[in-house]
Amino acid sequence: MIKDLPKHRGLRNQLVATIKAKGIEDDSVLEAISKVPRHLFMDSGFIDFAYQDKPFPIAADQTISQPYTVAFQTELLEVKPNDKILEIGTGSGYQTAILIELKAEVYSIERQKELYLLTKKFLPKVGYVSKKLVFGDGYLGLPDNAPFDGIIVTAGAPYVPKSLLSQLKIGGRLVIPVGKNTQVMTLYTRKGEKEFDKHEYGDFRFVPLLKDSNNLGST
Ligand code: SAH
């Protein structure tokens, strides 16, 4: 297995400087980015590019998100130690690892079985232990484990699933990119049983949050 070497740490420090220059301010988020060895989360063909601020292909035609985007969403989530966080779209597990670095209790759902199995095996091997990884449909959230302090959606949602809003604690935050071709980063904060604040934070581009679950369980 490829290791984490001083050269990788150096490249991560440069990456932190890059995303800081792009506007990320939260020190705990920057520190998490400086710690997670992104090159270990990527397919071997792309390892040399791991510390560029770009998304890259992973298994099952999906992507590992751009570090700036990961940092941006994580900053909006305002994670505190011991927060219970639900992630939709485990993918490579990179965002999951960032949340674990922030000492969150992480639940994460992935709908591609291949990725789910790969990442479930991989994350503990590199020292990142989540609370629960689930193979399933993120549109449904995880009602049995709700409510959550924060929910982060890492795929482009054509609309905001009501089930996710309903699984937030009062004061909890949902960070979700909303839209079809491009997405607007949107933050919902639960103010009361039926009351939510909404703020929008500019355009991003994600792989789609897939709706049909025909393939679930078939591989
Ligand atoms: N957080 C990931 C980003 C992966 S890209 C990372 O850091 O690598 C988005 C992921 O969302 C993909 O793995 C995709 O398979 C998954 N996804 C798409 N639709 C989904 C759904 N309905 N439920 C759960 N996961 C979904």
Is residue 128 within 8 A of residue 90, CB to CB? The reply is no
Is residue 180 within 8 A of residue 116, CB to CB? The reply is no
Judged by DSSP in three states, 28 sits in helix
Sign of the alpha-carbon dihedral angle for 29, 35, 39, 43: negative
Q: Check if 163 is active-site.
A: no
**pLDDT at res. 213:** 54
**pLDDT at res. 50:** 94
Judged by DSSP in three states, 128 sits in coil
Measure the CA–CA gap between 46 and 107, rounded to whole angstroms.
27
Pocket probe mutation, ligand 1, options 210, 211, 213, max atoms within 8 Å of Cβ: 210
Taking only the tens of pLDDT, the chain with its 219 residues reads 568 999 999 999 999 999 999 999 999 999 999 999 999 999 888 888 999 999 999 989 999 999 999 999 999 999 999 999 999 999 999 999 999 999 999 999 999 999 999 999 999 999 999 999 999 999 999 999 999 999 999 999 999 999 999 999 999 999 999 999 999 999 999 999 999 999 999 999 999 999 865 555 433
CATH number of the domain at 6-204, please? 3.40.50.150
Element (H, E) at 10: helix 6-21
Q: How far is the CA of 6 from the centre of ligand 1 (A)?
A: 31
The residue type at 143: P
Say yes or no: CB of residue 94 within 6 Å of ligand 1.
Answer: yes
Instruction: State the angle between helix axes of 94-101 and 27-35 in degrees (0 to 180), rounded to the nearest 10.
Output: 120
**pLDDT at res. 212:** 67
Q: How far is the CA of 32 from the centre of ligand 1 (A)?
A: 21
> Which ligand 1 atom lies nearest to the CA of residue 95?
7
**pLDDT at res. 47:** 80
The residue type at 109: I
Please tell me which residue in 28, 34, 44, 65 is annotated as part of the active site: 65
